[in-house]
Structure 1
Amino acid sequence: MDNKSALKQIVELAGCGYSELERNDGKKAYYAKDGEITDNVIRAHLDGSQPIGINMNVGDDKSHFAVFDLDDHNGQYEAGTMRKRLGFVAAALHSLNIPYFAVRSGGGRGYHLWVTFENAARMDTIRARMRDVLDTANDVLSQSPWDHEKFVPDDGQGKGMFHDTEVVFRRSGRPDKSDTTKIEHHIELLPKGGKRPVVALPLALESIVLTPTEIDETGAMQFDEGGEIVLQKAKPRKTGPKSGQRTKAVDVDAALRAFTKARPGGGYKSWSDAGFNIFGAFGEDGYEHWLTYSKQTDGFESESDVRSKWSDIAKAGKCGPEPFWAYARAGGYAGGLPDGVQIGNKGEQTKLILDDVVGSLKLFRDPDGTAYARVGPRRIMRIDSIEFADWLRRTAYSSGVTASQEQINLVVGIARAHAYETVEDVHLRVARQDNRIYVDLCDADDRVLIISADGVELIDGDEECPVVFRRSRQLPIELGDGSGSLDDIRAMVNMDDDQFIVFMACAVKMFFPDTPSPIVNLIGEYGSAKTSTTRMLRTLIDPVSAMVAPGSDKVDDVLVRAWHNYVLTLENMSDLTKLSDTLCGITTGMGFEVRQLFTNGDLFSIWVRRPVIVNGIDPSKYAADLISRMVEIELEKPEKRMLESEFEQQLAESAPRMFIGAVALVMEVLKVLPQIDAHAFADNVRLAEFGAIGEATARVMGRDEGWFIEKMVEAQDIAQDEAADDSATMQALESFQEPVARRGEFWGTPQELLIELQQSAEIIGLNPSRLPMTAATLSRELNQLKPSLRKRGWEIDKKSRKWRLVPPPEISADEIAAM
């Protein structure tokens, strides 16, 4: 058969029109055309004047063709290397008795391997057969000098044509084993599905046919250039029992190949879990099967390594035989099952796989009762979350089955029940343990940074972390090239040097989650970049997509936000009165209970302790509890305002260096912190632990001993005095001072005191409605005003539910002159 006749036969099998190759905006693409593919169309295709493509979908999502596309777009491989890789795939087709023909592109680096089927088959079935071919090719590769390479099908994940990725399989936590490297080659498998999957008709643009000759010593097929297309059609794959056989025979080899396809490995845990499945199916006699499986998975090093792990698996022996055979069925195994093993329809098969997946996970709950599953060495997911349900679906799908919502709900309920047997502390973004600070970088590799006085370490690979982290909407923290300093942070803020030290003390405190944190209040005139500085401060430890979100005065909303965010930011809050007690509790640590949705009596409980950032808040009108926890940082208006787009770009570029600068400062603070006794100033500073961390930060940044504490006490006194001056109750007491002084003291109930204060307010023209409305409210405000009243010379006590007030003595003219 000459090439022209072969192309006509291919076109006839396609039977759904054709597409012409055209350029649009400098890019090549195939555009559908109406009409028959005539001799002239074929002739124009062969001479290169008008290349065409064919629609692989003949209807009903079926096709007659399968095409392996090995296309080196970047020209990064030698022609001989590409030819060798083509040879391994061709050798796999040869060993499976699947006829094919090969075509080289006109450029000489790309190849198409065509398979033509006698009967049109579903496109997903064709792709499954193509993946089997790549599995066979990988078996050949594993016995060749290129055993570190692996073919991977491109299932529409964005990997282009022939694309390779270097994957390092880390053996962290196993010092006797080195890391292994695998080069994964992604090959495009056609058809990809859809109504019009198009492929270029062979032999356009100077492409040529390759004629297979022999398989060389490495196992790859060799080719001669030139020849004619030999169009042989592949037969349908037969399944079921042989002729005359009443039941299907058990084909262990076929089952193991199918199992490997459904459970291909991908890390130490996946490899280990597969071992339990094999042991469950074959017992101690399954070692050879385990060894065969292990040699085909990533990270295989030696038989002794496999035998050692098999010994551990045999001692545990916690799996039955059904999961292995369920995975084999999902991988395409159509043979018989051993006696005693019954797997019904696909629903039962899916349920077995889901049960096995959940059974291999570590399940636990936190002290609040929230249930979690560990899905990776350092990754956990809340069992009742959509994230975990989606993870189960993806895991099942990767094994070849599709889980229904009912099946997902069932296994989630079972997982939640088993999770209550173990309790573990769960942290968000930052944890501190044994004077070491752990920061979850929240990246795709689940890396964790450890900061201590001795330096910085990074946990990655398969190594577990001593503390457990959950995630919500946290963004990754980038490390960049590992360089950075405080200068990178200083360049992003507008404040004087003293305020910058207080600012960095607040930033360092965010790395210490185990003690109460201050409420950072960024103040300044309009245009002083309060919002931008809020975002920058949060970037140092807890970047999220909504860095600064509008605040809410609903307590439930604020607490739920605090549970999902390590740093709580409140933007555009003109009044914190309704949230005063809540914010005090969040910074100190508080629990929260609310009726769980869709239940009548269950409670949903959370406990949070978080750093809080607000901006532009005037604290003078708030209660002493809130004021004593608030640290004001005054910003200066920059000489030139930066565009929002410029700030976004600068923040993104500076973030890795700023983080490294903050980490370096935290490391130095950990060295100095043991020298500071927080008890020494606990009576003067409300947040003593923050005072100690701030004092250590100031010393590291060059300030004298006691500088930070002095600043804190001064700022706290000023804030309390301002709050007292703004208090209507304080103003009424000052007008009440003279008549009380004549009596010597006031001794009476809160109600009696409220009546007298209302009378004093009228005398000085103060609106009585500004005073507390009830005696109980007055008592609470007097408790908050005690420090300021005593500082101003008042004696104030409460005994037997009565208040005793003694005003300060009058100052004589001589004393005034002396002052």
Structure 2
Amino acid sequence: MSDDDKTPAREVIADYAQAHFRYFRTADGTVYAQRNGHPVARPIRSQGTSGSHRQELMVSLFKDGVGVFNGTALKEALDLIEALAMSEDVQSVHIRVAPGFDGATWLDLGRDDGKSVRIHPTGWDIAIPDPREVCWRRTQLTGELPLPAKDTDGKGIDLLLRLCNFANAETECLAIAWLIGCLGPSVPVPAPFLTGPQGAGKSTGGRMLVRIIEGMSGDLRRAPKDEENLVAAVAAGWVTALDNLSHMTPDLSDAMCCIVTGIENVKRALFTDGDVFRVGYRRPLLLTGIDVGVIRPDLAERLLPLRLERPRVRRTEAELWAEYAEVLPVVLGSLLDLTVKVRSVEAETPTDLRMADFARLCAQLDAATGLGALTAYRASLDDLNDDVIEGDLLAQTVLRHADAIEPGAAQRMTSTEWLHCLSRLYSGDELRALPKGWPTTGKVLSDRLKRLQPTLAARGVLIDTGRTSEGRYLEMTRLATSTPHQQQRMY
């Protein structure tokens, strides 16, 4: 056969690839390759990394006796395939947790054979998902989970709580509610903040919670120095766990708020002037530390404090993790059983809490088990409000001023007048200097009070803004009726 009669290498590769792989695009335009009958998808533009589609295609061509091809032929074939895939239907790819058909949820076990857990309204099963229902995306952060045990009778939850050093039953039920929330692809969950005295096993407890979802390779990390690195780590995994936080900058605090409730990041595409790529993310987040200093009000509404205590009997790391690995299939099986049970229960959604989805999950957990998770969640938010107030002198001063307002009455002034009023109240007769960070203008004061609105409202003080013909104003109202708990906590 003459050289003119030979089929070009790029056509051989393209024909083979389209016969053995399914190619599709996501909403952001990324093209993925999925081996026929297998749920794991890989972006075709991954180059030079372990497990890339380019490598997968090269190995398949060699093993099936088609041949070994140079890089130019592979590039030309993949360029053609990518162009053809842009006309295909859009499908999403998921990391670890995904929604399925008929109200089901899938959990990726990270196995090479594609076996996953399908959580449906009547139970859960181990199966390989239909590639058109679920496409898994794997990264280096995707660890392998053991096959969960069936018919555990709930003993896995008891085994987990025995290994962790949670301080009380309220903390235990909140940890369980968070784990159930992590198995929901569309439920934003607050970030557990594991705290306690030195030696309480915060890092170990954090690893145990994370590894139920991420496998034994899941671990804690130091907080990245900038938001870009944090976003990259978050986008590559499901649960992001940051260890030993001692300080939280405003930028890091804002980034954590975005991770919990979801946001989209848009950046310029490499080697282009006008094109961009989008990274959308909403992930479960876990934090550990003894004290992170002042907590901003918007982050406080998204935190879930879990207190640990020092264990009475110390064990070696080897003994502890050997036992954990042994019981992990039972723990995962019990968690799946409880998830099915909780999801089958109807409960009213509390309308007064920021994380309403998680509050409803706590109410469902209470209805299914009677644990009292919703009450514990409200108490934890109240404690966090105390932390915010204790770390903010402006909030303390506002509450002191509100004590002088008649219950049910409102007081209205401009932001500048409020600044002078609160500054005089803080300085007092001793004329002490205003602290660093105190508002310097009426506009700064107005912005600070807007951020403090939820915290102050929890203590029976409402802050509102408006405009009249004379200009803008701030109005402070002391609620006519407040709970005994609020009255007790007034500063």
Contact residue 198 and residue 290 of structure 2 kept, 8 A: no
Shift of 1:632: 1.0
SS at match of 1:574: coil
| Matching of residue 478 in structure 1 with residue 150 in structure 2 | no
Inter-CA distance 480–574: structure 2 relative to 1 (3 Å threshold)? same
State the Cα distance separating 1:794 from its structure 2 match.
4.0
Q: 1:553 to 1:767 in 2, by over 3 A?
A: farther
Q: How far did 1:715 drift?
A: 2.0
Alignment of 1:405 with 2:66, yes or no, is no
Note the C-alpha offset of 1:381: 0.5
Q: Which residue of 1 aligns with 2:6?
A: 343
Taking the aligned partners of 2:401 and 2:172, their CA distance within structure 1 comes to: 43
Q: How does 1:26-45 map to 2 (within 5 A)?
A: none
- For residue 369 of structure 1, the aligned residue among 7, 29, 38 is 29
2:178 paired with 1:506:
yes
Counterpart-to-counterpart distance in 2, 1:747 and 1:702 = 45
Q: Give matches, 1:113-152, under 5 Å.
A: none
Q: Which residue of 2 aligns with 1:355?
A: 14
Deviation at 1:666, TM superposition (A): 1.1
Counterparts of 1:302-701 in structure 2, within 5 Å, are: 336=1, 342-343=5-6, 348-349=8-9, 351-360=10-19, 361-377=21-37, 378-386=39-47, 387-398=52-63, 399-421=65-87, 422-433=89-100, 434-460=102-128, 464=131, 466-473=133-140, 474-479=142-147, 482=150, 484=152, 485-495=156-166, 496-543=168-215, 545-576=217-248, 577-616=250-289, 618=291, 621-672=294-345, 675-678=346-349, 681-683=350-352, 685-701=353-369
Query: 1:777 & 1:342 partners in 2: Cα distance?
Result: 77
Report the Cα offset of residue 773 of structure 1.
4.9
**Structure 1, unaligned runs of 5 or more:** 1-335, 810-815
Q: Structure 1 pair 341/530, CA: closer, same or farther in 2 (3 Å)? A: same
SS in 1 for 2:94: strand
| Partners of 1:353 and 1:749 in 2: CA distance | 75
Match of 1:802 in 2: 473
Deviations 1:340-366 (A, max 9, x none): 98217xxx43x2332113323322222
Which residue type is aligned with residue 343 of structure 1? K
Q: Matches of 1:379 and 1:794 in 2, distance apart? A: 52
Letter of the aligned partner of 1:417 in structure 2? A
Secondary structure of the residue aligned to 2:241 is strand
In structure 2, what is the Cα distance between the partners aligned to 1:682 and 1:662? 27
Instruction: Provide the C-alpha distance between the structure 2 equivalents of 1:502 and 1:791, rounded to a whole number of angstroms.
Output: 21
Tell me which of the two structures has the higher relative contact order, counting C-alpha pairs closer than 8 angstroms and 6 or more residues apart. 2
Q: Distance in 2 between matches of 1:450 and 1:503?
A: 23
| SS of aligned partner of 1:446 | coil
Contact 1:619 1:719 in 2 (8 A): no
Amino acid at match of 1:567: V
Normalised to the residue count of structure 1, the TM-score between the two structures is 0.52
User: 2:300·2:381 contact (CA, 8 Å) conserved in 1?
Assistant: yes
Partners of 1:575 and 1:718 in 2: how far apart? 19
What is the alpha-carbon distance in structure 2 between the residues aligned to residue 599 and residue 343 of structure 1? 37
Does 490-499 or 790-799 show the bigger shift?
790-799
Q: Which runs of 5+ in 2 are unaligned?
A: 481-486
Q: CA deviation at 1:646?
A: 2.5
| 3-state SS in 2 of match to 1:769 | coil
Task: Give the SS at the match of 1:582.
Answer: helix
- Higher Cα Rg: structure 1 or 2? 1
Q: Is the 8 A contact 1:363 1:372 kept in 2?
A: yes
Q: CA deviation at 1:467?
A: 2.0
Question: Quick check: 1:771 aligned with 2:434?
Answer: no
**SS state at 2:344 partner:** helix
**Aligned match of 2:381:** 716
CA contact (8 A) 1:477 1:543 kept: yes
One-letter identity of the residue aligned with 1:414? L
- TM-superposition CA deviations, 1:457-513 (whole Å, max 9, x none): 2223x9546222211121111116646432332232112333211111111111112
* Native 8 Å contact 1:620 1:723 kept in 2: no
Deviations 1:54-89 (A, max 9, x none): xxxxxxxxxxxxxxxxxxxxxxxxxxxxxxxxxxxx
Mapped partners of 1:714, 1:480: distance in 2: 33
Structure 2: which amino acid aligns with 1:342?
Answer: D
Question: Letter of the aligned partner of 2:214 in structure 1?
Answer: D
Tell me the alpha carbon deviations over residues 619-651 of structure 1, each in whole angstroms, 9 at most, x when there is no partner: 772222211111111112111222223333223
> CA–CA distance in 2 between the matches of 1:714 and 1:403?
64
Q: Secondary structure at the match of 1:403?
A: coil
Q: Structure 2 CA distance, aligned partners of 1:617 and 1:357? A: 57
Alpha carbons 2:211, 2:218 under 8 Å: kept: no
**Residue 777 and residue 343 in structure 1: after superposition, are their counterparts in 2 closer, same or farther (change >3 A)?**
farther
CA contact (8 A) 2:14 2:81 kept: no
Q: Distance in 2 between matches of 1:746 and 1:382?
A: 59
Percent identity between the aligned chains?
24
Measured in 2, the distance between the counterparts of 1:734 and 1:520 equals 28
> How many angstroms does 1:592 deviate by?
0.8
* Count of aligned pairs between the two proteins: 458
Contact 1:591 1:605 in 2 (8 A): yes
- The offset of 1:616, in angstroms, is 2.0
- When residues 616 and 368 of structure 1 are mapped into structure 2, their CA distance, relative to the original with a 3 A threshold, is same
